[in-house]
Structure formats: structure tokens, C-alpha cells
Structure 1
Amino acid sequence: MARWQDIEKDAPEFAERVRARFGAGIHKTIATLRKDGSPRISGSELEFEDGEVKFGMMDRSLKLLDVRRDPRIAVHSPSLDPPKEAGEWLGDAKLAGRVVEIPPAPDSPHQDAGHFRIDITEVVLTYVGNPADHLVIESWHEGTGWRRRTRE
């Protein structure tokens, strides 16, 4: 599995645009799997730090129980309303992978919370092309790297 630094090295311009989409707002949407296998979505925050994607979860939260049981996760960037001119929309970013629990920082006031990094299997950036008559899907997948495709 890849860490964020691997994607930055393999496709730096793509990684920069994805990171900007995630940085467009504080709250991201995280999808986890419940005990019965059905999806759960939750709000969360995350950081790109030291070549990793890192985040935390409150102690005893349902999403924390989910990822400790099944580490598969997907994260969606903040969804911002598109501008009136469709070609100016910067798009959405998503990533998926497996969480790996890491120790909290020694000075963290949340020692009982869950602290994680994401081992990434997929990153996707979707936006309106120029001219604004098609959709552009850029993606990075573990084992195949970066690619760009369009859809009308």
C-alpha cells in the first residue's frame, strides 16, 4: 500500500491538486463499514503531514469501532458549491485505503482517541474540463499509478 509521499513522488501535480481539494474546507466525509457490512458515513477532519494522511477519531465512537474491526475506509473532500461558470469548478477529490493505527503525539490531549494514517490504494480527482463540455477524471491506483480520462 502507498503512503501520501509515494503519490506525491509519482504524480506531483496531481497530488498537489488533490491536496488543495481536501484543504478547501475543514470537514471531510469518511465512509467506514458497520459490523453488518453496511456503509456508515461520518464527518471528520484530516491532515496531510510528514508524507502521510492522518486523522483521529473520538474514543468509543461508532466509526472508531468500525475501523478497528475492518480498516477499509474512503474519504471525500469537502463539497463546495460550484460557481455559476461550470468550467471554473475545481472538482471533488476522494481517496480510499486501509487505516493503520498510530500512537498519539506525546502532547496530544486525546490520548484515548484513535489516531490513524491511511495506507492508500486509490485517489480520484473529478472536475469539469475546459471547455466545459466534458468531465475529467484523474486517478492514481496502487500498482498502476496515475492516469487521466474524460467523459462527455
Structure 2
Amino acid sequence: MAQWEEIEKAAPEFAARVRQRFEAGTNKTIATLRRDGSPRISATEAEFKDGEVTFGSMPGAVKLRDVQRDPRIAMHCPTLEPPAENPETWAGDAKLAGLAVAIPPPADSPHQDAGFFRVDIREVVLTYVGVPADHLVIESWHEGRGYRRRTRA
């Protein structure tokens, strides 16, 4: 699995666009797995810093119990709709998936009893409307395969 800095080195323009989408707003959506294996989605905040993607969870949160039991997660950027008049100007939709790995809380955090994690990344995907606006462009990075770009009509 990779840290964010490895994706930045392998595909810097792609990584910059993905990061821009994630930083377009505070609230991201995270998918975790419940005890019975069904998915759970929750809001979270994430940070791209020092070559890593990190997030936290308040003590007692169900998503915290989920990732402590099964570290597989997926995370989606803040959702923004494509402009109706010019969909090709839309920055796109970004997501990543991997494993949540527990890390120590930041020294300055007032929530020392919360859960803090970095994401060991398996895949990153960015989807947007192509030019002309008659197709989608899917850019991705996958563990073991690297960067790839394809289109879908």
C-alpha cells in the first residue's frame, strides 16, 4: 500500500487535482464496514499533510468502532454538482480507498482520547466530464498498477 507522497511522485498532476477536490470543503464522506459486513457512511474530516492522508474520529463513534474492528475504508470528497450550462468546467469527483492505520494523536489535539488514523492507500479515482461534454474521463491510481486514464461515452 502507498502513502499519499508516493502517488504525488508517481502522478503529480493527477494527485494535485485529487487533493484539490478533497480540499474543496471540510466534510468528506467515509465508508466503513459494520460488524455484519454491511456498509456504513459517515461524515469525517481529512487532511493531506506531510505526505499522508489522515482523519480522526471522536471517542465512542460507531465509525471508530468500525475501523478498529475492520480497517478497510473508502473516502469521498465533498460533493459538488457539475454546472448545468458548462459541465466540462466541473473539477470532478474524487475518492480513495485503503486501510485505516491507527496513529498517535497530534500533541496539540484537545481530543487525546479520540481515534486518529492515516490511510494506507490502495486506490485513488478522479472522474470528470470531458471536453466536449459527451464523455467522462476516469483517472486512477491503483496499488501495483499505478496511474491510468480512460474515457467512457
| TM-score interval, smaller chain | over 0.9
Q: Distance in 1 between matches of 2:10 and 2:88?
A: 27
SS where residue 120 of structure 1 aligns?
A: strand
Post-superposition Cα deviations, 1:106-139, rounded to whole Å, max 9, x if no partner, equal 2210000000000000000000001111000000
Aligned residue identity for 2:72: R
Q: Which residue of 1 aligns with 2:47?
A: 47
SS in structure 2 opposite 1:139? strand
The code of the aligned residue for 1:90 comes to: A
Moved over 2 A (4+): none
Distance (whole Å) between structure 2 residues aligned to residue 107 and residue 140 of structure 1: 33
What is the CA–CA distance in structure 1 between the aligned matches of 2:128 and 2:82, rounded to whole Å? 10
Corresponding residue of 1:115: 116
The DSSP-based 3-state class of the residue aligned with 1:105 is: coil
TM-score (norm 2): 0.98
- 1:15 maps to a residue whose letter is A
Query: For the residues of structure 2 that align with 1:106 and 1:86, how far apart are their CA atoms?
Result: 43
Amino acid in structure 2 at the alignment position of 1:80: L
- Normalised TM-score (structure 1): 0.99
Structure 1 residue 83: Cα displacement: 1.2
Aligned residue number for residue 11 of structure 2? 11
Which blocks of at least 5 consecutive residues in structure 2 are unaligned?
A: none
- The residue identity in structure 1 corresponding to 2:149 is R
Q: Which residue of 2 aligns with 1:83?
A: 83
Amino acid at match of 1:73: I
Residue matched to 2:142: 141
Compute the displacement of 1:81 (Å): 2.0
| Unaligned stretches of 5+ residues in structure 1 | none
Mapped to 2, the partners of 1:135 and 1:118 lie a distance apart of 27
Secondary structure at 2:147 match in 1: strand
Deviation at 1:90, TM superposition (A): 1.1
Residue of structure 2 equivalent to 1:64: 64
- Give the % identical residues: 71
Give the match for residue 25 of structure 1. Answer: 25
Matches of 2:81 and 2:138 in 1, distance apart?
19
Q: How far has the Cα of 1:75 moved from its partner?
A: 0.2
Looking at structure 2, the residues matched to 82 and 131 of structure 1 have their Cα atoms a distance apart, in angstroms, of 14
Q: How many residue pairs were aligned? A: 152
